[in-house]
Amino acid sequence: MPGTELFGDEERKEVNDVMQTGILMRYGHDQQRKNHWKAREFEAEVQKITGAKYAHAVSSGSTAVATALAAAGIGAGDEVIVPPFTFIASVEAVLFVGALPVFAEIDETLCLSVDGIKKAITPKTKGICLVHMCGGMADMDGIMELCKQHNLILVEDAGQAFAASYKGKQVGLFGKTGSYSFDFFKIATAGEGGVLVTNDAQAYKHAETYSDHGHDHIGTNRGMEQHPILGFNYRISELNAAVGVAQTRKVPVILEKNRKNKKFLIDELSKTSGISFSRLPDPAGDSATFMNLLLPDTESAKRVVEELNKAGVGGFNYWFTNMYHFINQWDHLKNMQTASKLTVQIVNAPQDYKKLELPKTQEVIGRLISFGIRCTWTEQEMKDLAGKISTSVTKALKTELVK
């Protein structure tokens, strides 16, 4: 939670601006709000960092990717390639716009691979929901070439990768639409919030309208606005946006500290036999919110987790057994346990989700242990952490040799 560690006077000031006016809604009430438009300011701060032509703030990272899909034209019956390693919201968003998820392989980037996408493409494929996982980025050159060759719509879920870039371009801006999350655990937080970005004027207009019951936001009388399309309520509140404004302004400082701290840890841990790291297609663009260790195999990784727990080390995830980030635990999806029928239950699903064969993904996630990077760490704290990780890995791998 690198953003929350720097929570202070700036956030309180922005929130106080809203509380003094009493206007918690992002639209209307022009006179009473005394020119405080926190959602607009939040969007402007995101634009400064990303260089996006358009940004639209919504209530969460989940609603941001849902809006991104709809604004890009993804809908009922469309087959969309998705990763099996992601916060499940990415897949839920595909399902709830009526589209049909097609799971493809990831690789050591922790993102959908070019080869995985290529093998999953069929004549029915409409688009790709590409998720940039654990602060890094996918191999965008190869993926963009595939999109061009097959005329696919690319939607990017960069919820975990705000401020990450690939060859100078921010992730989230390669596709028709992109999205970021600003929940409590991201590089910057709004408490709950998300932002859609795009360089496409029509996609932006659809997003702005779709996320507010279809309002066109023209004129000064909200009750008399036109509704060019159907929509729903994905609005962000001014209170959440106020926190987002202050937090997003701090991202350049947080990014610098994250990168410095991650480099320190990697330099220390590179000395330990058995440790490698996830692949970054563009290391210079890393948001450095995670340090992703790759162990020799799944059994080794499980033993390392045991040793880390024995040593009292916290702040890490073993995604292979994580309930909400990896497909192995998504029984509710495999069994289609729903409150009401989805499109995928009415038409023929493109895959049998109970019998997916994704060996590369299983191998990579089985080996992966991720540590969140904190921007407030001292050098001594990092030395202590690296020492405990190194000792745990060495013990775990020695245990294997004894066996």
Which residues are catalytic, by number?
A: 186
DSSP 224: G
Strand partners, 58: 194, 235
How far is Cα 205 from Cα 53, in angstroms, rounded to an integer? 12
**DSSP 3-state percent helix, strand, coil across the chain (nearest 5):** 45, 15, 40
Whether the Cβ atoms of residue 286 and residue 171 lie closer than 8 Å to each other: no
Place of tokens 């595909």: 94
- With CA atoms as reference, report the closest residue to 155 among 175, 174, 170, 171: 175
Residues across the chain: 403
Place of tokens 């159907």: 230
**Residue 377 neighbours by CB distance under 10 Å:** 20
How far is Cα 163 from Cα 256, in angstroms, rounded to an integer? 11
DSSP assignment of 255-308 equals: HHHHHHHHHHHHHHHTTSTT-EE---SSGGG---SEEEEE-SSHHHHHHHHHHH
How far is Cα 235 from Cα 280, in angstroms, rounded to an integer? 34
Rounded to the nearest angstrom, the gap between the alpha carbon of residue 231 and the centroid of all alpha carbons in its chain is 23
Q: Is the CA virtual torsion 64, 172, 144, 120 positive or negative?
A: negative
- With CA atoms as reference, report the closest residue to 95 among 373, 327, 345: 345
DSSP collapsed to 3 states, 98-135: CCEEEECCECCCCCECHHHHHHHCCCCEEEEEEECCCC
- Which contiguous run of DSSP H or E holds residue 93? helix 89-96
Rounded to the nearest angstrom, the gap between the alpha carbon of residue 135 and the centroid of all alpha carbons in its chain is 8
How far is Cα 388 from Cα 312, in angstroms, rounded to an integer? 9
How far is Cα 382 from Cα 264, in angstroms, rounded to an integer? 8
